[in-house]
Structure 1
């Protein structure tokens, strides 16, 4: 396909060198009078004329076709087109106290839409990351068509001038990280059942992007901070597809910018070649699953060096089922089904395989987790039977009673001897 523009330019060059004169002379002179003695020239002449015809006789002013394409893209987007002033007013002109997060090439603000009265999350993209509206609108059109109960919905967008913004639904429950780390004393930690519910929902969201979306979507930056929760702990994934969105800016965005902040979550193949794929998403899901099990950060510099990376710390325990319980978050204590723990740890180990070809598909992960959350909890341990009175206590008592009886017998003997002695003396 890259040859066509070059070929067209050659023809334009030929036209500049004399093709225009022929084109102008064509209507003025009859065909027999055309100077085309060589057969090769005669066979080559029609091609430039046919190719140049659309360019020589445009019927629309320059740029009108692009404008029509842009309008078509805007109409294809399933969301509202916001004016920049609306979103600026919703965020108090993007003041820092409304800033709730940021990534490699965007910042996220909490906002209140004045007309709709709706609380939203507004993602302001780096305005230098796109050369024009077409790339941005193309990607937004794709993202707006992705709908799943475990994905954040795009409400609208803004493409005013050099401003690029996305408007999402707002989640009141915060991120998964907020419920795993640095909990205040009054906040109850997530129990095992809730953690598995979050893992199952997040896996369903990834499965939809990989296996049901058309075309499939590589997440590219899956991590705990991108798993948002509502009041009932239903997970929804955010920032999906932004890997492609960040790279559509004509080369202004570095390849690694969407992955900044994901240190410790990245698949080995990304470290080697900077490439992401569906199987690298599976690896990242394995990291998040391990965080749900252990309650550990991906990288914790407060730990000993060999335990700072959560995957490195867990690898020895993956190899010994008897040590699986050592992986469990101490905040859960022993309140988890042993059978479910074994299978969840085994699944996390499979997702975290070094070679991407042996990692499971997300559909397999969803099937396994769906089976585990349907398992009934382990039956409560039977009440302990009352312990019999220890034998030593009985021995001590008998020994004590025996010694007391023997001592009383000895006293009686002594009394009888004294009486006999008194009788003899008398």
Structure 2
């Protein structure tokens, strides 16, 4: 296990050691007068395992763990720059270092206000790790599901901005990078919040760096993603495209609206283990009947926008979420379209047909994801 391997503190390293290692990485790092790591654009710093031990005080402050590994809080030596060090729980013995560096280069070339910044990495025989900017307000998952008040301390205005900012980050990965990046795991746990509660998407690009079979769902045909957020094509053996991120974003949007988890195995009574309705279907039923009051009441809890404008935003978010989780990928909008609809620059209405119609029979409806069918969003990129 990773934690066993790094349990024994190494001998302290000095500044000369750190400076030499950084220079070896291409002289792309220095300690600035402002106490922060000055990383030349597009070239993350290569750190040694000894440096990361020093930065994290021998991995003393564990922030959490996820599908890719364990995250620790640290501080760049001789600065006040806090960082999050993700120790990758993966076997890369079969992967060439050149492949790892190529993917690091892809991640490092990303630059967006709603993406977590990669400061550096480690690729030693005993340790593979990534060094990110530290997000002081943790994950959206924590604020929605694990804090007092059932997430009500986050106002609707804040949650709306989180939804829009997250959509803009995924739009950037899909449409504005030199090479399209598919995240594969959009969920509240991968949306981090900075000191101003601005959202920043984390773990993008890691699907191509890590072996995922042990930590992610493997159903019929195998797949990637987290149960409850993963698009149907990921676990039915169909080709995976950027539209799988759109589906996952839709599920995240439902949880923002409901301030609660909404994933569960769909049972005959349409309830989850807690006795509450499966939220995405419940929202569809309310929208279909024109009964948006209950949805708005939950979404606007604790918010100031309880009037007409707030309700309009809720209705747009509901409609967008329902389009995002369409069964066929071609029926889902692009993330560029999602941003336009959320911000009111493009009209959107709830779909005429339930996106969950394939769940209404005893078995999943067998459909061809590449069928040539005219759809509302088929022409978007």
Q: Deviations over 1:312-371 (max 9, x none)?
A: 443322422224633652770682522222222111111111111111010011112223
Q: Determine whether 1:161 maps to 2:118.
A: no
Q: Give the direction of change, closer, same or farther, for the CA distance of 1:333–1:110 in structure 2 (3 Å limit).
A: closer
Q: Deviations over 1:57-109 (max 9, x none)?
A: xxxxxxxxxxxxx989x9996111111111112223224xx222222232111
C-alpha separation in 1, matches of 2:299 and 2:143: 14
Q: Determine whether 1:216 maps to 2:187.
A: no
Counterpart among 77, 88, 101 of residue 64 in structure 2: 101
C-alpha separation in 2, matches of 1:186 and 1:345: 20
C-alpha separation in 2, matches of 1:118 and 1:277: 37
Alignment of 1:405-424 (within 5 A): none
**How many matched pairs?**
294
Alignment of 1:134-283 (within 5 A): 134-184=98-148, 189-247=153-211, 253-254=212-213, 257=216, 262-273=226-237, 275-283=239-247
Gaps spanning 5+ residues in structure 2: where? Answer: 1-23, 29-39, 218-222, 265-271, 346-381
Q: Which has the higher helix share?
A: 1
Counterpart among 365, 382, 394 of residue 338 in structure 2: 365
Q: Is the Cα–Cα contact under 8 Å of residues 324 and 342 in structure 1 kept in the other structure?
A: no
C-alpha separation in 1, matches of 2:294 and 2:261: 18
- How far residue 113 of structure 1 moved from its aligned partner, in angstroms, is 1.9
C-alpha separation in 1, matches of 2:260 and 2:152: 17
Match of 2:367 in 1: none
**Higher Cα Rg, which structure:** 1
Alignment of 1:307-326 (within 5 A): 307=277, 309-323=278-292, 325-326=294-295
Q: Give the direction of change, closer, same or farther, for the CA distance of 1:275–1:222 in structure 2 (3 Å limit).
A: farther
Match of 2:45 in 1: 80
Q: TM-score, normalised by structure 2?
A: 0.69
Q: TM-score, normalised by structure 1?
A: 0.62
Q: Give the direction of change, closer, same or farther, for the CA distance of 1:356–1:127 in structure 2 (3 Å limit).
A: closer
Q: Is the Cα–Cα contact under 8 Å of residues 85 and 132 in structure 2 kept in the other structure?
A: yes
C-alpha separation in 2, matches of 1:341 and 1:127: 40
Alignment of 1:104-123 (within 5 A): 104-123=67-86
Q: Is the Cα–Cα contact under 8 Å of residues 282 and 360 in structure 1 kept in the other structure?
A: yes
| Secondary structure, counterpart of 2:145 in structure 1 | coil
Match of 2:254 in 1: 290
Match of 1:129 in 2: 92
Gaps spanning 5+ residues in structure 1: where? Answer: 1-69, 248-252, 373-426
C-alpha separation in 2, matches of 1:264 and 1:369: 23
